[in-house]
Amino acid sequence: MFLKNAWYVAAWSSEITNDLQQILVLGEKICVFRNEEGEVIALEDACPHRKLPLSKGRIKGNTVECGYHGLTFDCAGQCVWAPGGGRIPSAARVRPFPIHERYGLVWIWMGNAAIADVNEIMDIPNFDNPAWGINQGAAMELKCNYLLMCDNLLDPTHVAWVHQSSFATNATKDTPLRVTKTEDGVIVHRWMMDHEPAPFYKKIVEFTGNCDRLQHYEVQYPSHALIRAVFTPAGTGGIDGPLHEKTFIMDSYNFMTPTTANETRYYWFQLRNIRPDDEVLSAMMSEDVRKAFEEDRAVLDQVQIGMDTKTSPHIDLGIDAGQLRFRRRLEAMIAEEAMVDAKMEG
């Protein structure tokens, strides 16, 4: 079960072309392409006649022609031509999905199209800020349920064991976490005071000596995360900080799209508040982040197998409080949505 009335990332904008292709979102097959105006169109990927995926057909102008008997659909999914010279059956249509492009990503609304509101797409305040740099990011396929990655992104502690050569320091092992519930998600956060910067950040920050460091791990429903890292010279951080001109901030945006029940397409990019035009820095950050995320993938793929084949119950720890809270609320939202749908159908 997934939350349907929500925006998910369907693809990078650069991945959608004038060719038909099939993507999977929440287990649904969707045919995507760009029309003559360059807009991204998303249609249910099953011809209503014999269910050949439309993505196996052809684009004809601003329509899609089925590759089996030629039923032809416009960009709203309505059949506009049928073979054999007969009339077009009223059921000859496919479901269109609302789409919106923002942040170089294609967003898709999987629920009731009548309530799709682009204002609900995650807000990314510094995306267009010329003072901030970006490392463009990428996508990877995870062989795990998307909630395992949501758990991971509400879990600042795992870096101590999973990312030893990049994000870890001793402070990441045992500094207590704080959990804050927001209107649209959960934040797990902590300040770690006066210690050496972790290896990945040591190469980037523009001050020497020890730092105060914030880990801000936030996941918004259904599955979009902001991981904010703040590094500031020791003594300038904490609840009322950071107040230093050399404070480094990196906002890592992470989007988990369930493709099936136990597979996820994971998208990300990072914004930083220093050296916006430094392409060498962007390339180095991209490379290091990708390596670190490969470390997460290796763990999570195995966790999925472990949870699927467990022969004894698993346990929860105090460090899991944020993710358990996130899961509980998301489950309630999904149940609520299913109830509304059932009422509408009834």
| Positions that interact with Fe ion (CB under 5 A) | 296
Q: Which residue is nearest to Fe ion (CB)?
A: 296
Does 71 bind ligand FES (CB under 6 A)? Our answer is yes
What's the distance, Cα to Cα, between the start and end of the chain in Å?
20
According to DSSP, residue 77 is labeled S
Q: Which is nearer to Fe ion, 212 or 296 (CB)?
A: 296
Assigned token pair, 310: 């467990």
Does 81 bind ligand FES (CB under 6 A)? Our answer is no
Give the range of 42-50, 117-125, 213-221, 283-291 binding ligand FES by CB under 6 A: 42-50
Q: Residue 117, Cβ neighbours under 10 Å: how many?
A: 11
Q: Which is nearer to ligand FES, 47 or 330 (CB)?
A: 47
Does 59 bind ligand FES (CB under 6 A)? Our answer is no
49 interacts with, out of ligand FES, Fe ion, none, CB within 5 to 8 A per kind: ligand FES
Does 49 bind ligand FES (CB under 6 A)? Our answer is yes
Residue with token string 């740099």: 133
Q: CB of residue 33 vs ligand FES: minimum separation in angstroms?
A: 17
Q: CB of residue 225 vs Fe ion: minimum separation in angstroms?
A: 11
172: which residues sit within 8 A by CB, 6+ positions away? 156, 157, 159, 160, 192, 198, 215
Q: CB of residue 11 vs ligand FES: minimum separation in angstroms?
A: 24
Q: Which is nearer to ligand FES, 81 or 127 (CB)?
A: 81
Does 80 bind ligand FES (CB under 6 A)? Our answer is no
Handedness of CA 292, 28, 183, 11 (dihedral sign): positive
208: which residues sit within 8 A by CB, 6+ positions away? none
Does 162 bind ligand FES (CB under 6 A)? Our answer is no
- Burial class of residue 273 in the structure, from the number of CB atoms within 10 Å of its CB (0-12 exposed, 13-18 middle, 19+ buried): middle
According to DSSP, residue 327 is labeled H
Does 60 bind ligand FES (CB under 6 A)? Our answer is no
Q: CB of residue 163 vs Fe ion: minimum separation in angstroms?
A: 6
Query: Cα(330)–Cα(151) distance, rounded to whole angstroms?
Result: 12
* DSSP per-residue string spanning 39-72: -EEEEESS-TTT---GGGSEEETTEEE-TTT--E
Does 52 bind ligand FES (CB under 6 A)? Our answer is yes
DSSP E strands, 143-223: 178-182, 185-195, 211-220
Does 69 bind ligand FES (CB under 6 A)? Our answer is yes
296 interacts with, out of ligand FES, Fe ion, none, CB within 5 to 8 A per kind: Fe ion
Q: How many residues does the chain have?
A: 346
The bridge status of strand 63-65 relative to strand 40-44 is: unpaired
Does 50 bind ligand FES (CB under 6 A)? Our answer is yes
Number of residues that bind ligand FES (CB under 6 A): 9
Q: CB of residue 8 vs Fe ion: minimum separation in angstroms?
A: 21
Does 92 bind ligand FES (CB under 6 A)? Our answer is no
Residues that bind ligand FES (CB under 6 A): 47, 49-50, 52, 66, 68-71
